[in-house]
Amino acid sequence: MRPRLAQIVGRAAVQGALCLGVGVAAANRAWAGPPADLPVSSSPLPGIGGNGQVTWTIVVLLTILTLIPALLVAITPFSRILIVFHFLRQALGTQTVPTNQTLVGLALFLTYFIMQPVGAQVYDGAIVPLQSGRITAIQALDVGSKPLRTFMLHYTRERDLALFVDLAKMPQPRNSGDLPMRVVVPAYLISELKTGFQIGMVLFLPFLVIDLVVASITTSVGMMQLPPVVISTPLKIILFVAVDGWNLVVGSLMKSFY
């Protein structure tokens, strides 16, 4: 038994040594560099020597792709729309109807509807010249940010802009074009948050009145065993459907951007 075990161990050792030798040889060949008949690039990055613009374009595009979720929330009306939908669902008393996926999907398409003209300006002014090689990627970012800045400044309160100008310790700008994006983006975002809360509060008031009336009636008649929300929720849904609430809410939101 022992001689057979020793034979197996020896065979495994020989095979291991052969594999190690093959691996070392392959590593030496790889570190030795490419064959003499293959061209060797002197640039550490592909494309820098002959077509560096393509490389930097890819880098910029990949960076933008990673920032898309943050950009969607920060520089589009997505935040305002989603806040309004959340307040509406809370006011109706339907805890999970419509679902979060439904509200987010509707908010995304409404955001696309609003931002499509701005996106067309960015595409015509920055993407097309960049693809044709007339401008660099950095120039494309500068040109493409101008329509976005104009859109955001249109819905940003001066008080919010003044806050971030003061926090940045900047001199007073002569016009809106002198404001950097690091000032415009947070100012626009908090302005959108305030606007969303204002619209949500206005939506909440009529449904709050229904809750108060139903609670007063059920308390006065002594219906202590039946929670008021059981009665008020169907009444609020009936009222919302009767006045075509989704059309009114979405229509008002869209008109607030035009």
User: Digits of tens for pLDDT over the chain (258 positions)?
Assistant: 444 444 443 444 434 443 434 343 443 443 344 444 434 444 443 434 445 566 777 877 787 778 777 877 888 899 999 999 999 998 888 878 888 899 999 999 999 999 889 888 888 888 888 888 888 877 887 888 888 888 898 999 989 988 988 888 888 878 777 788 888 889 999 999 999 999 988 888 888 888 888 888 887 877 777 777 778 888 888 988 998 889 999 998 888 887
Question: How far is 53 from 130, CA to CA, in rounded Å?
Answer: 10
Tokens of 150: 């104009």
Q: What is the length of the chain? A: 258
Question: How far is 189 from 80, CA to CA, in rounded Å?
Answer: 9
Tokens of 34: 């490419």
Residue 243's Cβ-side half-sphere holds a number of Cα atoms within 13 Å equal to 10
Burial environment of residue 15 by CB neighbours within 10 A (0 to 12, 13 to 18, 19 or more): exposed
**Domain ranges within the chain, ordered by starting residue:** 52-200
Question: How far is 50 from 53, CA to CA, in rounded Å?
Answer: 9
Element (H, E) at 108: helix 100-122
